[in-house]
Structure 1
């Protein structure tokens, strides 16, 4: 298994795993499958080429089995911050430390970007495994966003976390 930063030529594979994540784990993401299924590989290429974000992929051979993105803040007063988004590991690949390795790459990238001092993320309060992993990486909880997501009439709280670099 290898972790690499995704480039535009990975767009089709990235689109596939992203849509899988959105379709089968709706409570874990603020975007929905319905919002993104109409996006083309070219739309995903643009995401991967964006200068303010970095997406990392876990590869088993050439199969993309996990993803995470680091998004930099662009406003002057927020440039000391970055955000972790779109974290996902395929179910059959969980339990092998892949998510942690993806996160370590994203954190290392944040540390390498001049001026970034803090990394933020939110995680669905019921996702105990993810919260435990984020805790082990040094993230600390600073709040809860109650009823952050509403899916088919059910509300989900988000736990807000920060890592000071």
Structure 2
């Protein structure tokens, strides 16, 4: 397995994995599969995101196959530039439990540590996702809040845990 920062040339592979994620784990993402497939030119949008300053998407590859992704996004506004956020964390189900997620998150955390102004990383995780919560805890993320009814999926409310990792 190899972890690398994704480039515009990886946009098509990323988009295919993103759609898989939205289909297989709808509770884990704010975006729905139905909304995602309505986007105009999604691959060119993704390619643009990969070149945006402060936006770092890492991919885990097995050979040429993209099997997992995570995005680290630094806040832009002056007063909150010391914060970054983890978004769009996903590992294809057949590769879960093999350390792919940990490798991706470690790469994102190391990137954040390499950016002088970033002092902390925030993320949110659906409160029922025990595997993800275990992973985040193992890397030092601490719970700082619970948002009840953060999302409503097919009539069912889901709570979000908000977590933080202080890196400086």
TM-score (norm 2): 0.96
Deviation for aligned residue 1:155 = 0.6
SS in 1 for 2:103: helix
- Residue 136 (structure 2) aligned to one of 128, 134, 137: 134
Aligned to 2:61: 59
Aligned to 1:27: 27
Structure 1: stretches of 5+ with no match in the other structure: none
SS in 2 for 1:49: coil
Q: Deviations over 1:29-81 (max 9, x none)?
A: 01111221133311211121221210000000010000000000011110110
Structure 2: stretches of 5+ with no match in the other structure: none
SS in 2 for 1:148: strand
SS in 2 for 1:134: helix
4+ long deviations beyond 2 Å:
none
Equivalent residue pairs, number: 165
- Residue 163 (structure 2) aligned to one of 120, 138, 161: 161
Deviation for aligned residue 1:153 = 1.0
